[in-house]
Amino acid sequence: MNVLVIGANGQIGQHVISKLKISEKHNPIAMVRKKDQQLKFEKEGVQTVLVDLEGSIDHIVEAAKETDAIVFTAGSGGHTGADKTMMIDLDGAIKSMKAAKRAGVKRFIIVSAIGIHKWHENNHPGWMDRTPYYSAAKYYADLWLENSGLDYTIIRPGGLVNEQGTGKIQLGNDLEMASIPREDVATTIVAALEHDNTIGKAFDLTTGQTQIEEGIKSL
């Protein structure tokens, strides 16, 4: 399965590429924005495409052709200004979904954030009010995906940390805020790609007690 990873140079993206590379079932294609990022991946033997998410949808469609699935993990993580959040987390994500449809790629996995689906509820998590643009951008991107007709999975991890993965997770619709290593998010993404019962599902994800594969299968 050829998997286009949008945001391949991001912190989660790099883990996803590594895990797809060592898997026997997948061939990752790293979609990146900068020439130096492209060269880095090519040196590692990873296929690449150079596309700016702020450019024409046509370029994303071109990149998506010949692929079987898209993983969208580009974005600011709430740590850049509202401008980048608007153009990447919201507009870039939705342009990628439109491109998937035009390219005939059904499978689409997006990395969201814990609790995002509750953005318009009064009891949404407190962190959202500290990054309201990010919350709004992710909220609308996730909603678009749910209504896109694509075979989606929406993964909403808790606080991302760089510790080595534990391989153990907790999944749910309404988890308490807790952290999770980026590596475990990447492993969860790859597991979701391999288990079609995750199609049409959205879930919060934190570190927990369940083996990733087992958790994903039980969704």
Of the two residues 81 and 126, which places its CB atom closer to its own copies in the complex?
A: 81
Nearest-5° angle of CA 147, CA 152, CA 157?
A: 110
Q: Is 136 an interacting residue with respect to its own copies (CB under 8 A)?
A: yes
DSSP sequence for 158-207:
-EEE-SPP-SEEEEESSPPP-EEEHHHHHHHHHHHHH-GGGTTEEEEEEE
Cβ 180 to its own copies shortest distance, Å: 26
Q: Is 43 an interacting residue with respect to its own copies (CB under 8 A)?
A: no
Q: Is 47 an interacting residue with respect to its own copies (CB under 8 A)?
A: no
Rounded Cα distance between 95 and 101, Å, is 10
Q: Is 91 an interacting residue with respect to its own copies (CB under 8 A)?
A: yes
Strands (E) located in the chain: 2-6, 27-32, 47-50, 69-72, 107-111, 151-157, 159-161, 168-172, 179-181, 201-207, 210-211
Rounded Cα distance between 32 and 151, Å, is 23
Residue in 133, 134, 139, 152 annotated catalytic: 134
Q: Is 94 an interacting residue with respect to its own copies (CB under 8 A)?
A: yes
Q: Let me know if 134 is a catalytic residue.
A: yes
Cβ 101 to its own copies shortest distance, Å: 12
Q: Is 95 an interacting residue with respect to its own copies (CB under 8 A)?
A: yes
Among 50, 82, 160, 178, binds its own copies (CB under 8 A): 82
Catalytically annotated residues: 134
Q: Give residues in contact with its own copies (CB under 8 A).
A: 54, 56-58, 81-83, 85-87, 90-91, 94-95, 98, 120, 122, 132-133, 136-137, 140
